[in-house]
Structure formats: C-alpha cells, structure tokens
Amino acid sequence: MRLMIVGQLEGHISTAGKIALQRGAKVIHCEDIIEAIGALRNGKGADVVMCDVKQKIGKLVEDLEAERIFVPVVACGIGTSARDAVKAIEAGAKEYIPLPPDAELIAAVLEAVTQETNTMIASDPAMKSVMQLAEKIAPSEATVLITGESGTGKEVMSSFIHRKSKRKDGPFIAVNCAAIPENLLESELFGHEKGAFTGANARRIGKFEEANGGTILLDEVSEMHPLLQAKLLRAIQEKKVTRIGSNEEVKVDTRIIATSNRDLEKSVSKGEFREDLYFRLNVVNVRLPALRERPADIMELAKFFVGKFSEENGIEKKELSKPAQDKLMAYGWRGNIRELENTIHRALLMSAEDEIEADAVFLSESEFNQTTATAPATPANAPDPAGVGSAGASPDAVQNAEGVENLIGKTISEVEREMIVNTVDHCLGNRTHAAKILGISIRTLRNKLNQYKDDGDDIASAG
C-alpha cells in the first residue's frame, strides 16, 4: 500500500509514518495540498492520502477530482473533536483519525479505506481450472487478456495475478477504458505536457509511467477508440510512451493485463478492434465462467458477503436459512457475482429473523433470471382451482403457464437478450430508462447491447 501524508500533523507525522511503514506501506510526505497534487501528477502514486485537518481538505478533494486522480482521503487532527470530524467528512474525507495516532486505529482505518475484494473463492471445478491457469502464468511477464461477462470478477482476477507475480511489490494501476471520455483517455494512459491542450495547466504523468515496475490493468479495453489502439500497440511493442505535447520517448517497464466482456474476435472481423493489438494482448487468455456455470461457489460467496457486510455495518453475523439458500441456488444471476454481492448486502440489512429469511432475499422477477421455470407464488386470497389449501401449495406455483411455456427450449442467454432488446425498444431507445426498468446499470446495459449488435441484432438507436 502507498500512503501519502499531507501536512505536519502537529509533530505526529513521524509516528503515523512509522506505524504505516510497520504495516508494510510505502510513505510519501508532502508539506501541503499543492505539493501533494504536484507529486500525484508526476507519478508519485498513492492508495490513500492522510491529510491534516488544518489543510483545505475540500480543495484537495476537488483538485483530485479535476485531475481524475481517484484516491481516498483520510483526515487527521488533534484530539477527538466531533466538529472537526464532521467538517472533514462533509468536505469529502472518507474517515477521520484523531491524533496522537493509535497504531491499531490507523491500521484498521487504512485497511478499511483501501480494502479491495481480492478474495478468490473457487470451489467449483469450473473455477478451479481457471485458478490453476492463473497461478501458472502469474510469475511470467506475458500479457494477459481476461474475458467473461460483466460482474464475473475480471478486475479481482487481474489483481490476483499481480499479487502472485514477480511484480507484486510494484504498483498495480487500473484504468477503466469505458469510463474515461475518449478525448481524455490518451492523456490518462500516456500523460501530457503543460500547455499540450486546453486545460493542461501542468505536466501530468500517465498511468503507464505510474505503473513502471508493476502492472497496468486496461479494464474494458474493447471500448478504446481505434486511433488510440495504434498508440497502445506501439507502447506494448516498444515499451516506450510519448506524452501528449512532447517528442521525447519515455521507457516504461510495465506488465499489461486487459479485460473485455465482448467477443474481441468479432470486433476484429468488423474492423472495430485492431487485429495486431488483439494478438499482442491475447498472449494468454483467462476466461472467467459466469456464476451460473459455477453453482458450487454460490453459497460460499454468499456466506463470504454475509461476513463482509456484517462487519462493515457493525451488525451481528447471521446464517442464511435453508429457504434463503434454496432461493439463491434457484436463481440465474445475470449480474453474476456483483449482483449476488448486492443481493446479500440488501438481505442482511432487511432481515428481521435470527437467520436471514427467504423474504429478505429480493431477486429480479424477470423470467430469464430463473434457473427453473417458476413464477411468483399465488396470492393468499386467489382462487384455488385445484382445491389444494395453502399448506399444500408450492411456494413457486406458476401463475402464467402460457408465458412460461414460451420460454421452454430457450437458454437463459436467449431469454435475457430478448428481454433487454424488447425493453430498449419499448423505451424508444432510451438507455437510462431501460436500465432502470431492468434493474441493471447503464454500463451493463451498454455492454450487453454492444454484444448483441456484434452478433447482428437490430438495436433501437439511443434516444
């Protein structure tokens, strides 16, 4: 972990730094927020910033956002002033640490703020083979392409490979190619010189230089513009980058891991992705199975998330009841691990029993999310044409048999595709509205539509 300390902290800076060093952190000290921003611009990366409350924390947070530097800020101050803590949190700090520093408190806060979901759960045979491949190729210098549906844990896998590599003591820098505007991505990757373009008020070191000696993750690399793909290809081949506005080449020693949830071979055939770049990235391909393809991991992941969110929310850890477990196992998980994580978090907060009951597990009612052709239970006041009382009724009694029959013979992926495309058509191409109806993020919807478009489907224009 890389820690940046900003300010003097009333003489306690050396103590705080020593505690962090003892916990394995690399510590950088800056006198004020101006020096801190300058250091971050010039590639002195940090995973967390500890800032004296006497500094302008709000300005620091604003400057970090303006520079697209995503690092959590922790405020520090003398004593336990509630007013100082509240002001710091309102200004954008993630936590407040009173000084003089307590070793265990600092360690706990730093761990919580920088916590990543790096735990790899792989009990299912489908996942065990993937882990064996990852373990085997991690120590090498080979470029890795990780593929799989949204929510399958591609970024977690990339972090796992980095931690198992010879570069584990170097930085791990992640860049989301889909989230950064096209006109800014080149600067983000390769950096720029002062005055290179409007708004370039100072030199900025790119992520390739920041990741020197470590690993860079190009998340959703398939979303990169073809013109930028050519520059990326050169950076991979020559191990050199050129900042925007400069003619000077800078050598970089960076291992590359890329991820994509799209079929890159189809993108290559359509001319949307460079073939030579595809082969450069796809030296080793690690495909992550969808959660529905690794059912033995569902309950293990669910129990892991119960423990995680019990601790985060300060509530007593509960067991999952048998009906709740059955409900989780019968679900299709179109959102994969990310959807399971959110479902468990919500269930833990909503549960009113000693064990997490089935009613606390809220799942999408869309048919394509069911692994079996089931529908919501018949209401208690509904007619009972079969003459069976409620005690003998199945909780999964089918209400719309004709609708279910239309799904028979189709795969979950086919029904999912039909549901998404029809919803977008219904919303006249309005992606935001369609995503809300489907209960998925706009990014997931966009990725799905891109995939369907690649497959030749007629998708309604964005509206």
Bridge partner residues of 95 (DSSP) = 74
**Per-residue pLDDT, 370:** 55
**CA atoms of 189 and 98, how far apart (whole Å):** 37
**Per-residue pLDDT, 445:** 82
Bridge partner residues of 77 (DSSP) = 98
- In CATH terms, the superfamily for domain 130-288 is P-loop containing nucleotide triphosphate hydrolases (3.40.50.300)
Sheet holding 2-6, edge to edge: 26-30, 2-6, 48-52, 73-78, 95-99
Beta strands in 158-283 (DSSP E): 172-176, 191-192, 204-205, 215-219, 240-242, 249-251, 255-260
**Per-residue pLDDT, 252:** 94
pTM: 0.66
User: For 294-373, which CATH class?
Assistant: mainly alpha
Per-residue tokens: 259? 């991820």
- Give the contacts of 248 (CB within 8 A, at least 6 positions apart): 242
Query: At the topology level of CATH, where does 2-113 sit?
Result: Rossmann fold (3.40.50)
**CA atoms of 443 and 433, how far apart (whole Å):** 13
Residue spans of the domains in the chain: they are 2-113, 130-288, 294-373, 412-454
16 SS3 class: helix
Mean pLDDT, 10 residues at a time, the chain of 463 residues: 80 72 78 89 82 89 84 81 82 82 69 60 91 95 95 92 91 89 88 86 89 94 91 93 92 96 91 93 95 94 92 87 94 92 92 92 68 38 38 39 51 79 77 75 80 76 62
**CA atoms of 307 and 422, how far apart (whole Å):** 38
**Per-residue pLDDT, 379:** 37
Please give the single-letter amino acid code of residue 461. S
Assigned architecture for domain 412-454: Orthogonal Bundle (1.10)
Tell me whether the CATH fold assigned to 2-113 matches the one assigned to 130-288.
yes
**CA atoms of 447 and 251, how far apart (whole Å):** 34
**Per-residue pLDDT, 336:** 94
**Per-residue pLDDT, 110:** 64
**Per-residue pLDDT, 366:** 56
